[in-house]
Structure 1
Amino acid sequence: MIATGDFPGRFGVDVGSGVRINCFDSGGNGLPVVILHGLAGSSREFAATAEALPEFRTILIDQRGHGQSTTIPDDLSREAFVSDVVQVIEATADTPVTVIGQSMGGHTAMLLAAARPDLVAKLVLLEGGAGGGSSAENERIGDFFRSWPVPFANTSAARDFLGDGPLARAWAADLKDEADGLWPRFNAEVMVATLNGLLRPRWDEWEIVTAPTLVVYAEAGMFTAQEEAEFIDRGRDVKRVDLAGASHDGHLDSFDSWIIALRSFLLS
């Protein structure tokens, strides 16, 4: 598996208002693919996905408030997230790109495809939807992040607290090493504010997306069967794949099935 630090091209894009977006570029002459992680994640989670796409030039983006991008940006609107990706694409690619997004990153990708169809050749949404939820649930998620006993003394301490699931392992592997210990690469209050930006369902945007789209759902994901069916029905050019046995983080715990579905779509 590629560690993001091993990518031949790490770069940053200054997108205004003091925000810098960190990216990793696999290099090569293949068609460009841009990957957007989910909430409280980072580009590191998709390094293995990039490695499994050797025919493509893959650009991994740490979205604002995440990874090695600016941790506490002033603007956490959905439009700011989309603008960041637009600026990265315009700075790095001279042809339309395939955009892959998971969860919150899928929401960003969907809004990008609606706002800038000229930039998006294909769209892949892993456990993505139109948005929704409740502020109370978002606060509960924030309380979980606030409960982390940081700084962790070491990776073992982090694993002891976070557990041994695929997402927990990804979090532990991506902690930032500071003088006093290991810290997450995100701020709990920023995560809550980011989630609150997704409260309004964006059906109008989803219904105008014209790019061929692969929607991937996990058997044990976050959406009900009714929610999944409605999202598929209201899309234009949509193919659906379901990952048996996968969780919301199917790119981590159902990797082989995820790559099979992804490559089949990208190479079609």
Structure 2
Amino acid sequence: MTRTTTTTLTTPDGTHLAHTDHHPAGDPASTFLLLHGLAGHQGEWGALAPRLSADGHRVVTYDARGHGASTRIPVTTTREAHVQDAVALIDALHLAPATLLGQSLGGHTAMLLAASHPELVQSLILVEAGPAGPSPDLPAQIAGWLDSWPTPFKSLEEAESFLGHEAWTRTLEQRADGWHSTMDRDTIIASVAELATTAYWEEWSRITCPTLLIQGERGTMRPGEPAEMLSRRPQTRLTRIPDAAHDVHLDQPERLYEAIASFLRD
């Protein structure tokens, strides 16, 4: 029987982090910390977390600062602040050494944490995430994407059709005129500011824990980025998931689980 609890952790800078702890009965086989991507939320792991928990793992998910039920407009959104949030959760919940599983921006956070705090990390699983950069156009691209949302949506069905996945509709807020985004536009854009100017190959090269890189067959990683990652750290395992785009965990959760289970067995 798995015990599931949802609560909030307050970080030193006053940011509230909403998180959910799936704790199996008895001693867990291992612990997982799951990190969602930009503009996402912890509920995106709803298909994967129960599978990992059923295998006896303790699984913790959380809403990153500026996302979901966590503080919507935090005092800062730097890469270091995101890393320190994950460190705070690992310390407060006694998760170390943890397997970090992150998608997109969450994967980038997990990568930086593994590089800077190796003692906290047992293994690293990156989904559509890597160190490539800089990406000067990224903030403008994210702004354009957010501004393209035809809000308010008339219905959740309309929102799902536009956004592509039901999970993306769960943070919408219903008002008298329809369904609105609850995200702060400037906070989301600021969250990728450093990726516009910086590459993180040095941090990638410092990582020592076992690492699995998962790429969607139709994903958005830069051409050549996975190959460069493997050339710098040949021990990294690469798995490509068929019929998946950037949101592998939403497009193909079962195949993602199978890739993770195979990695853990090895």
What TM-score do the two structures reach when normalised by structure 2? 0.90
Residues 32 and 60, structure 2, Cα contact 8 Å, conserved in 1: yes
Distance 1:125 1:142, change over 3 A: same
Q: Does 1:45 align with 2:44?
A: yes
Kindly indicate whether the alpha-carbon contact (under 8 Å) linking 1:99 and 1:123 is maintained by their aligned counterparts in 2: yes
Q: 1:102 to 1:119 in 2, by over 3 A?
A: same
Secondary structure at 1:256's aligned position in 2? helix
Identity of counterpart residues, as a percentage? 36
* 1:180 positional shift: 6.3
Aligned CA distance change for structure 1 residues 110 and 137 (closer, same or farther; 3 Å): closer
The corresponding residue for 1:138 is 139
Q: Note the C-alpha offset of 1:27.
A: 1.4
Contact residue 138 and residue 195 of structure 2 kept, 8 A: no
**Mapping 1:86-165, distance limit 5 Å:** 86-93=87-94, 95-159=96-160, 162-163=162-163, 165=164
1:178 deviates by: 5.4
Partner letter of residue 222 of structure 1?
Answer: T
Checking the alignment, whether the CA contact within 8 Å between 1:107 and 1:128 is kept in structure 2 is: yes
Q: Which moved more, 1:137-146 or 1:226-235?
A: 137-146
Deviation of 1:13 (Å): 0.9
> After the TM superposition, which of the residue ranges 218-227 and 116-125 deviates more from structure 2?
218-227
Structure 2 residue 183 is the aligned partner of structure 1 residue 186: yes
Gaps of 5+ in 1: 1-5
Within 5 A, what are the aligned runs for 1:1-268?
A: 8-28=4-24, 29-30=27-28, 31-53=30-52, 54=54, 55-93=56-94, 95-159=96-160, 162-163=162-163, 165-166=164-165, 169-177=166-174, 181-199=178-196, 200-235=198-233, 237-268=235-266
Partner of 1:3: none
TM-score using structure 1 length? 0.89
Give the whole-Å Cα distance in 2 for the aligned partners of 1:13 and 1:179: 32
| CA drift at 1:85 | 0.3
Could you give the per-residue CA deviations for residues 124-179 of structure 1, whole angstroms, max 9, x where no partner exists? 0011110425333421321221232434344234235x25x33xx22113323457
The answer on whether the counterparts of 1:7 and 1:24 sit within 8 Å (CA) in structure 2 is no
SS in 1 for 2:241: strand
Q: CA deviation at 1:94?
A: 5.0
Task: Point out where structure 2 has 5 or more consecutive residues left out of the alignment.
Answer: none
**Cα separation, partners in 2 of 1:180 and 1:133, compared to 1, 3 Å:** farther
Summarize the Cα distance change of 1:93–1:155 in structure 2 as closer, same or farther, 3 Å threshold.
same
**Superposition deviation, residue 7 in structure 1:** 7.2
SS of the aligned residue for 1:8 comes to strand
Distance 1:33 1:172 in 2: 25
Equivalenced residues, count = 259
Q: In angstroms, what is the RMSD of aligned CA positions?
A: 2.0
